[in-house]
Amino acid sequence: MRFHITRLWPWAPHNSPRILMHGHHNTLFSFYRTAAGIQARLTFIPTGKPEEERALRAALIQDVTDLLPRSEAREAFSKARLAANTKRESLQRITDEYLAALDAVRAQLTSLQEAGRSLEGCDLYHGAYILHHQAYLAARDAYTKSQAKLHKAWEQYDAAEPKARDAEETFQHGFDVDAFHRQHCHPHCPWDGKTIFAKGVSVDVLES
């Protein structure tokens, strides 16, 4: 059984922050930057999650953005979560760049070492080896810069994420979360404050 998500999704603005209830098994609310983020989550669950969990997840997940109370605390939470998610996305991109730079410097070092062995004693040794060495130095410089950039990205994310979690806690303390959950979720939802799998992963738990 699917609840509000089917009803709300067609009207969800594509560039507005959205909130899922039971978007993940171990948290009540999940924050998404856009409706497209929710769609990506909905698409992932039927294919990327263990098959035995899929029906229960699909029965409980729903977009509650338009159902949650509006307040200054919610707006603060939205801004803080957006900021943290942006830092996380940046961190992922910079991590990918760092790993690519690491692969490149390793490849250039191998090439330099091979050139040293193969050109030794050759008349062209000096000039050719210098070219390989220059390429290696350039790759090493790019790697060093990417390493510093990654370190800064981690610092920024580590600063933003706790603020988002604190803002979320403040928001949730501003209304009766349990009452909201009882009103808008399945009457036999197995959520115990920690996970939806408290009684097992099968959708059959909704019948008890």
pTM recorded for the entire structure? 0.67
Q: Would you give per-residue pLDDT tens digits along the chain (208 residues)?
A: 333 333 333 333 334 578 899 999 999 988 887 788 888 999 999 999 999 999 999 999 999 998 998 889 988 988 898 899 889 999 999 999 999 999 999 999 998 888 877 766 665 567 777 888 899 999 999 999 999 999 999 999 999 999 998 998 898 888 999 999 999 999 999 999 999 999 999 999 999 7
Find, among 143, 144, 125, the residue nearest to 133 by Cα: 125
Find, among 142, 146, 198, 144, the residue nearest to 28 by Cα: 198
